[in-house]
Structure 1
Amino acid sequence: MATFVAKASTRKQHGRLAFTIRALDSPPPEAGPCAGLISLASQALTAPEAVEYLDGLLARCGIHWPGRTKILQMEPHRSAGFRAVAATRLNAIRIRRPGIRTTFPQPTTHQTKLAATDIPQRLPDTWTAQLHGLGVPMHGPHLRRDAAIRLVQMAHGGTRREAAISLGFDACTAHNTSMRLRQWQASDDHARHYQQALARLADHITTTPRLIDYRWRRDDLSQWVISEEDWDVITESVRRRQTPTGRPLTKWLHTRRLAAAVFVWTHVTGGERLYAPVLRDLRNRRSPHLRAIANESWSLEHPQRTSSIHALLAAARSEYAAGLATRIDQQVPPSVPRKRLRKQRFGWPQPSSDSLHDLQQLQSLACSDSCGLDLPG
């Protein structure tokens, strides 16, 4: 083992010793090399001198080492023993900008207690009550969004970018949210209080009965708008509640129907209004109606600040959203895997008998190739 570490970690280059260990993003796809890598890692971590070997390898990791970013991203997935050995070495290769403290990493603390699918984009008010008292009035929306991203990491692990994308955000949103809160976390003892509040919030969610699978709702409504038939039912309900003088003055435009779809999507999925699929599609197509639809959806969210027609529409669409949410939740039996149902529902191609036979042949070959290796355990 000592010989391998010496050969892998150093080589002669222009008369100097240079670090040559590569950073791998994933295990080798072939069965033989993958099994050999697992066997080698097991031997390195279980050897009596494992601490000395790991410390020697990490000591050669400099601030400009290409694998620095990857090894820091894998920090939530390491064991407690590895963290204890690598803590001092990894702290030396972190980039710390003057005046701004790096945000604390989010460990996976509730993997067996909390499901990432039960976390919405916009946390309910009953949940965010656990975050009150942190002293961030001007960053309230960003704190709510950052808490949702961190809850997904606490339940499922992974990087911050992966957690944000699983919620329906993009990588830019995750970065901007972090930057908004970074200065606040760097002052006083806010980071520690925030971490404690997140732990209380996660414990509160685990005790909540009948949690909602928000990810299933988001997937179901990812390409959805209110149909013409449903729109006629909603508008007829509003007309019956209007006064005789106001009924002929109301214009039921196509933009109003799209704004209603944004409003319904927000209530059913627990999402943020500006990240609704309708508005995202309009932004991608650079539609000239984007601003009008976004403003109309805001008026439906705050009917008390606008006209009476928005209050009537909001009431009718709230009833429609409640019925739609019930229908979505009843589509999937608890005993059937949801991932498989998603593929069948959206018409994804199913594997043919020939492809299944080829897959079985590949699996048998992979097993036969790995039988000759000295696997751990």
Structure 2
Amino acid sequence: MSSLCSGFGVTVAQANAELDLPDAFGIAAVHAVKNWADQHSSAAAVDAPAAAATINSLNADPPAINYRHRRRRLDGWLIPANDWDALTEPLRRAEAEHEVLRLLRTDWGPRKRDCASLIVAATITRSDYTALPLFRNRTHVRPTDLPFRNLAYKLMMYGRRGVHGGRGSHTLALLHALEPYAQRLAAQLDDISAQHLPYARRRQIPLTSDK
């Protein structure tokens, strides 16, 4: 990875900065790739030119979506309280009317809202959720917010594997409710990007409703 970066005139630190990643992520990536290449030298020799060709292709025809702009506009963002209430009200009502689910007494409070914000941000920026500031600011400090970390992990795992009925059904319902919300937010961010507006840091970005 480091040799590939240098071949394109950037350091690993600069690549990290472009991707808004902590330095530790780049260091870990370099070590992981080096260890793999040392154990699979023949495959590495084939993959390096392929990786370079992919980068050249992306540079020649950049993706239409500016993920860096999305990441930076969402730095410090949380789902606004009004949006969260609107998103979860149908879920609360359905749970209250269900003979079994109402016994679970699901907590729809601030921690779940924060974790849902993390899921939305990771989804529309195509990011590793553990690299986003919202996650690191809660888990890479002392004392660590373990309930937040565990809930974020749970939501991610449910989103990847899915659940069918039973105790986790309310989590899957929440993830499904977040999908169209994330799509509308992404469209709003991209529209703002086209107008060359400054990045919105450390504030909530209200989502325009579909009225």
For normalisation by structure 2, the TM-score amounts to 0.77
Return 5+ residue gaps in structure 1 as ranges. Answer: 1-101, 109-153, 348-377
Deviation at 1:273, TM superposition (A): 1.1
Alignment of 1:215-234 (within 5 A): 215-234=68-87
Tell me the distance in 2 between the aligned counterparts of 1:276 and 1:291.
16
Secondary structure of 1:104's partner? Answer: helix
Q: Is 1:188 aligned to 2:30, yes or no?
A: no
Match of residue 163 from structure 1: 15
Cα-to-partner distance string for 1:52-92 (whole Å, 9 max, x where unaligned): xxxxxxxxxxxxxxxxxxxxxxxxxxxxxxxxxxxxxxxxx
Deviation at 1:191, TM superposition (A): 2.8
Secondary structure of 1:332's partner? Answer: helix
Match of residue 67 from structure 1: none
Q: Is 1:278 aligned to 2:130, yes or no?
A: no
Tell me the distance in 2 between the aligned counterparts of 1:346 and 1:181.
33
Say what the alpha-carbon RMSD is for the aligned residues.
2.8
Return 5+ residue gaps in structure 2 as ranges. Answer: 203-211
Cα-to-partner distance string for 1:104-143 (whole Å, 9 max, x where unaligned): 34355xxxxxxxxxxxxxxxxxxxxxxxxxxxxxxxxxxx
1:293 corresponds to which of 148, 151, 171: 148
Alignment of 1:78-157 (within 5 A): 104-107=3-6, 154=8, 157=9
Tell me which amino acid in the other structure corresponds to 2:179: S
Match of residue 260 from structure 1: 116
Q: Which structure dedicates a bigger proportion of its chain to helix?
A: 2
Larger radius of gyration: 1
- Would the aligned equivalents of 1:104 and 1:191 in 2 still touch at CA under 8 Å? no
Secondary structure of 1:189's partner? Answer: helix
Deviation at 1:240, TM superposition (A): 4.8
- Of structures 1 and 2, the one with the larger relative CO (CA 8 A, separation 6+) is 2
| Percent of aligned pairs with the same amino acid | 23
For normalisation by structure 1, the TM-score amounts to 0.46
Q: Is 1:244 aligned to 2:98, yes or no?
A: yes
Cα-to-partner distance string for 1:175-215 (whole Å, 9 max, x where unaligned): 12111221221243233222122134335546878621001
Tell me the distance in 2 between the aligned counterparts of 1:284 and 1:209.
33
Match of residue 184 from structure 2: 323
Deviation at 1:285, TM superposition (A): 4.5
Alignment of 1:357-376 (within 5 A): none
Deviation at 1:296, TM superposition (A): 1.4
Residues 309 and 322 of structure 1, relative CA distance in 2, 3 Å threshold: same
Secondary structure of 1:302's partner? Answer: helix
**Pairs aligned (count):** 192
